[in-house]
Amino acid sequence: MQTLHGTVLQPRSATECMIHENAWVRIDDCGRIHEVVPAGAGTGATVGDASCWILPGFIDAHCHVPQWERRGIDGLTLFDWHERIVYPAEARFEDPDFAERKAEAFATGVIGFGTTTVAAFGCPFPESADRVFSVFARRGLRAVFGMMLNDVNCPAPLCQQTNAALDQARELGAKWHGAENGRLHYAFCPRMPVCCSEAMMRGAAALARMLGCYVQTHLAESPAEVMAVREAFPERLDGVDVLAEMGLLTDRTLFGHGVFLSRAQRQQVAEAGTTIVHCPTANLFLESGLMDYVAHRSAGIRMALGSGVGGGPNPFMPQVAVDFLQTAKGLKVYAMPRRTHDVPTPAEAWWLLTRGAAAALHMDDRIGSVESGLEADLLVVRPEPWIAELPPDQRISALLYTLRPQQIEHVFIAGRRVGP
């Protein structure tokens, strides 16, 4: 049994974030939260003290392992970013030993930033994807991960033979989906519709359904990408229609970006139960666009947040959440006429970083909250002490805006201390 001591942050819903001061969290030997004991009742803390906070681990629902060491290269828009940065970065992963070393750096990096669950894309090489999974297994990271799939409109070294790639992805899915006591999950990852044949997309959808795996893809990320999808699929209404026709618009699909969606498309995505992973930092960095989160949520779409690394330069999820709030404020203040609806609150940001993302990933029965019975994916952080002087709603806000990676003292995933 391990015991943590501190102020517990408990995001309950998009509108409610609780704080329990001076609480004790006991983790059992199976890595589950045994109990959360309120003020003053505990003794013998092994980790933390009254000035620490205990947070659910952060969930980054969209990032790219090969781009971890390509963050912050400014001056490119989406398709130039693909050509100049993404494809060369993925080509280097053809060497499995190289891929393994870089996966180690990725795991060390994200854990150090307090991210306990990632939904991440890999490279289009099966042995390297397998090695990345081995690293995640060894390091204790919780992950949805998969080999990148693309068989048209991509450079020769990355372009796969359709059936061979689907076979390889199926083998990886059979090996890794549900591995490590359910901590690892496989995602079929058609890069984006313009890089995949119909056979690749339909095949990925069928295999994901058969194995109960996730699907990850990109759509409606930039105006140029929206146009390219229209040109590639002239017989379909739009990109959402393409995904729906290919069988990829499902409740196990994580759909990256989704900046440019009409009212009808939002409705279609909401009805399918598909998650849109909002990547505000990447959308700004690549000048792709400002996603209207409020409109998406109002349509009933399941939402999560992603760093978009390396298209997003910052992997620290609280700062991604700040960009989420700032994007909504930017849309509000520059709208003509000026909007009357509220921007999301810091409480909603915390929920999206933790429990809300866990729900979008169908993992809220296991993670996302500091609650007895759940697996202990927890952070112990030591924020600036003045935050403790504030009333609760101001504390929730100030913690989000001022927390720094250097203030993370311990990271636990399934009860195991994995960093920093």
Site residues, Zn ion (CB under 5 A): 256
* R_g of the chain computed on alpha carbons: 21
**Shortest spacing between CB 344 and Zn ion, in angstroms:** 22
Side-chain-side CA neighbours of 122 within 13 Å: the count stands at 31
**Shortest spacing between CB 259 and Zn ion, in angstroms:** 12
CB closer to Zn ion, 68 vs 350: 68
Residue nearest to Zn ion (CB): 256
CA 75 to chain centre: 24
For residue 404 the two structure tokens come to 């720094």
- In angstroms, the CA 362 to CA 348 distance is 18
For residue 402 the two structure tokens come to 């001022």
Handedness of CA 196, 198, 202, 203 (dihedral sign): negative
Largest CA distance in the chain: 67
* Among the listed residues 77, 132, 78, the one whose alpha carbon sits nearest the alpha carbon of residue 110: 132
- At residue 10, what are phi and psi to the nearest 5 degrees? -125, 85
Position of tokens 């504390």?
395
- In angstroms, the CA 399 to CA 385 distance is 10
* 173-202: b (≥16 Cβ within 10 Å) or e: beebbbebeebbbbbbbbbbbbbbbeebbb
CB closer to Zn ion, 140 vs 256: 256
The conformational region for residue 375 under phi > 0 = left, psi -120 to 50 = alpha, else beta, is beta
CB closer to Zn ion, 6 vs 256: 256
**Shortest spacing between CB 218 and Zn ion, in angstroms:** 5
CB closer to Zn ion, 26 vs 296: 296
Helix, strand, coil percent values for the chain (each to nearest 5): 45, 25, 35
CB closer to Zn ion, 79 vs 180: 79
DSSP 324-352: HHHHHHHHHHH-SSPP-SPPPPHHHHHHH
**Shortest spacing between CB 306 and Zn ion, in angstroms:** 8
Q: At what angle do helices 239-246 and 198-211 cross, to 10 degrees?
A: 60
**Shortest spacing between CB 55 and Zn ion, in angstroms:** 26
* 350-380: b (≥16 Cβ within 10 Å) or e: bbbbbbbbbbbbebbebbbbbbeebbbbbbb
CB closer to Zn ion, 9 vs 286: 286
For residue 338 the two structure tokens come to 């000026």
**Shortest spacing between CB 152 and Zn ion, in angstroms:** 18
DSSP 36-96: EE-TT-----SEEEEEEEEEEPEEEEEEEGGGGGGTT--S--HHHHIIIIIHHHHHGGGSH
Instruction: Tell me the three state secondary structure of residue 67.
Output: helix
**Shortest spacing between CB 150 and Zn ion, in angstroms:** 13
